[in-house]
Amino acid sequence: MSVSGVFVWFLVVFSSLRREKMKTGRWMSLVLPLVAVLLAGAIPALAQTTIPSEVSEETLECIECHSTESMGIYQQWGTSKHFRANVGCYECHKADKDEADAFDHEGFLISIIVSPKDCSACHAKEVKEFDESHHAKAGAILGSLDNFLADIVEGDWNFYGGSALTVSGCKQCHGGVVEVNKDGSLKATGWPNTGMGRINPDGSVGACTACHQRHAFSAAQARRPENCGKCHLGPDHPQKEIYEESKHGIAFAAHEDDLNMENAKWVLGEDYTAAPTCATCHMSAVRTTDGELVPVTHDVGLRISWNNRPPASIRPEVSDKKLGLEKMAKVSWQTRRANMVKVCTVCHTAPYVSNFYEQYDGVVNLYNSKFAEPGIAIMKLLYENNLLTPTKFDELVEWTWWEIWHHEGRRARHGASMMAPDYTHWHGMYEVGKHWYTKFIPELREIVAHNANSSDPKKAEAAKALQAAIDELLARPEHSWFTGNMPAAEAEKRKKAQDEFKKRY
């Protein structure tokens, strides 16, 4: 235990013995300055201006109870850098009268939520970077199609007028509005919640605790792959699983003790090279192969050159613009890719990295051109011609198309982005291909059949247009195999390649 730790412990024990006789706060105000002077020589490193030189009286009073009540909080804080910096309970939880979630607790005005605005008192750079990033817009999903699923398809209106599923599902990753009762307590609609795009009672956006779990705020924890796996896993974006399959994940499992993860200065190329975690590549500091020191950033999009979220992959500056992220809308994908290449080349040669990106782009382009763009066009045709109702998810083909792009197509693209072959193929494009030919196309044909002889001439006309679109699509070389019309030249070429290959074995 550090000097200041001993000091805190001493005060806590001592003051509890006396608390019946004298109001601690007052007593503290007499003794503390004296003790502080006495200890000043012993702990010069703490005698700084921007960091409290000692634990505050208010926090000491919090500790009096919380060293036993919900003591996990106190103990975890005791392992944190906050403890050593004398940043305690009160420093983070104190509130002003005009804050909606302020309430009186044992004579102190505090709030439960510690928002990015609160954190920015010390961590202004980090909060600014976060505010400028894609992560800050995580909550925008809640007005979108995904939310229709949780709110309406899967939900009802019986949880404070909304869907309990949205609260325990979507909002736990995307964030939601933290609603405050009149007495300052928080509604279960928005708390507990550590969603990335949480809208806090003070108007700020985000939840630092999404990654920096309270109350240890361990650097190593935030840098580990499981941390990102709180949200980045599962059928629609299995980045955690993909990482674990990749050579990067295998190296991490074997060498995690060599990664120096508790180090404050955690610079790839200086402090470690044994393996990268999610944070390494997307956020953390790097000493580049040219000697440049790239600092850590909390803007997670600065090194990403494809946005693989939409039905067809787009460039991130395009989606950032749509989201109103002004700064990031001006950062081209080429710049972002150059940023990532600086990370890659700490451990890989430039030709390796360049070839990798060719492979990755190849998969994205294949997916985009063969499946995504035709699929988008056909779905548009269906809606515009009233071959589907405007209501989403009430017709089978809507589910089919949704899973092709939102689940399977993403898995393929994410898999390729991190070199996890099983996710690229079996969990990814294999499923895209399977459902394209065994569900999407047959369901489209069903719609044609159903409307071809409709008494509504517009629908009959639309069915014809759909049939023409299907025919045009399946006549393209890449789909021609399905109707048995693969170009003879291609078939011949393929057979020859196979024969040659087999000769090798």
Among positions 6-65, residues that touch a copy of itself (CB under 8 A) are none
351 binds a copy of itself (CB under 8 A): yes
Q: Comparing C-alpha atoms, which of 398, 403, 458 is closest to residue 428?
A: 403
Instruction: Calculate the alpha carbon distances from 443 to 103, 104, 450 in Å.
Output: 57, 60, 10
Number of residues that bind a copy of itself (CB under 8 A): 140
Which of 35, 229, 260, 310 forms a contact with a copy of itself (CB under 8 A)? 229
For a copy of itself, the closer CB: 46 or 406? 406
271 binds a copy of itself (CB under 8 A): no
Q: Minimum distance from CB of 40 to a copy of itself (Å)? A: 32
Q: Comparing C-alpha atoms, which of 356, 499, 371 is closest to residue 437?
A: 371
Task: Locate 255 and state its tokens.
Answer: 């060498």
Q: How far apart are CA 405 and CA 85, in angstroms?
A: 48
Which of 356, 454, 465, 467 forms a contact with a copy of itself (CB under 8 A)? 356
For a copy of itself, the closer CB: 24 or 193? 193
Buried b / exposed e along 179-195 (16+ C-beta atoms within 10 A): bbeeebebeebbbebbb
Q: Which of residues 436-455 bind a copy of itself (CB under 8 A)?
A: 437-438
Q: Minimum distance from CB of 407 to a copy of itself (Å)? A: 8
The window from 42-50, 80-88, 342-350, 447-455 that contacts a copy of itself (CB under 8 A) reads: 342-350
Task: Locate 32 and state its tokens.
Answer: 């503390």
345 binds a copy of itself (CB under 8 A): yes
Q: Minimum distance from CB of 433 to a copy of itself (Å)? A: 4
Instruction: Calculate the alpha carbon distances from 471 to 237, 462, 486 in Å.
Output: 32, 14, 14
Q: Which of residues 110-129 bind a copy of itself (CB under 8 A)?
A: 112
278 binds a copy of itself (CB under 8 A): no
Task: Locate 214 and state its tokens.
Answer: 């309270």
199 binds a copy of itself (CB under 8 A): yes
Which of 32, 43, 85, 220 forms a contact with a copy of itself (CB under 8 A)? 220
The number of helix segments (H) and strand segments (E) in the chain equals 28, 4
For a copy of itself, the closer CB: 149 or 285? 149
For a copy of itself, the closer CB: 53 or 128? 128
Which of 249, 316, 374, 375 forms a contact with a copy of itself (CB under 8 A)? 249
Q: Minimum distance from CB of 41 to a copy of itself (Å)? A: 32
Calculate ∠ Cα 140-142-147, nearest 5°: 140
Task: Locate 338 and state its tokens.
Answer: 């150059």
Q: Which of residues 135-164 bind a copy of itself (CB under 8 A)?
A: 137, 139-140, 142-143, 147, 149-159, 161, 163-164
Q: Which of residues 290-309 bind a copy of itself (CB under 8 A)?
A: 291
Q: Minimum distance from CB of 227 to a copy of itself (Å)? A: 6
Task: Locate 378 and state its tokens.
Answer: 């056909």
259 binds a copy of itself (CB under 8 A): no
Q: Which of residues 380-439 bind a copy of itself (CB under 8 A)?
A: 389, 391, 393-394, 396, 399, 412, 415-416, 419, 421-430, 432-434, 437-438
Which of 3, 22, 250, 318 forms a contact with a copy of itself (CB under 8 A)? 250
Calculate ∠ Cα 195-199-200, nearest 5°: 105
273 binds a copy of itself (CB under 8 A): yes
Task: Locate 93 and state its tokens.
Answer: 């939880």
For a copy of itself, the closer CB: 46 or 387? 387
* Coil, helix or strand at residue 206: coil
What does the DSSP assignment read for 351-408?
HHHHHHHHHHHHHHHHHIIIIIHHHHHHHHHHHHTTSS-SSTTSSHHHHHHHIIIIII
The window from 10-18, 119-127, 134-142, 296-304 that contacts a copy of itself (CB under 8 A) reads: 134-142
Q: How far apart are CA 415 and CA 172, in angstroms?
A: 24
What are the backbone dihedrals phi and psi of residue 162, each rounded to the nearest 5 degrees, phi first? -135, -165
Q: How far apart are CA 178 and CA 189, in angstroms?
A: 7
Beta bridge partners of 307: 314
Q: Minimum distance from CB of 345 to a copy of itself (Å)? A: 6
Q: Comparing C-alpha atoms, which of 290, 321, 49, 272 is closest to residue 281?
A: 272
The window from 18-26, 229-237, 444-452, 454-462 that contacts a copy of itself (CB under 8 A) reads: 229-237
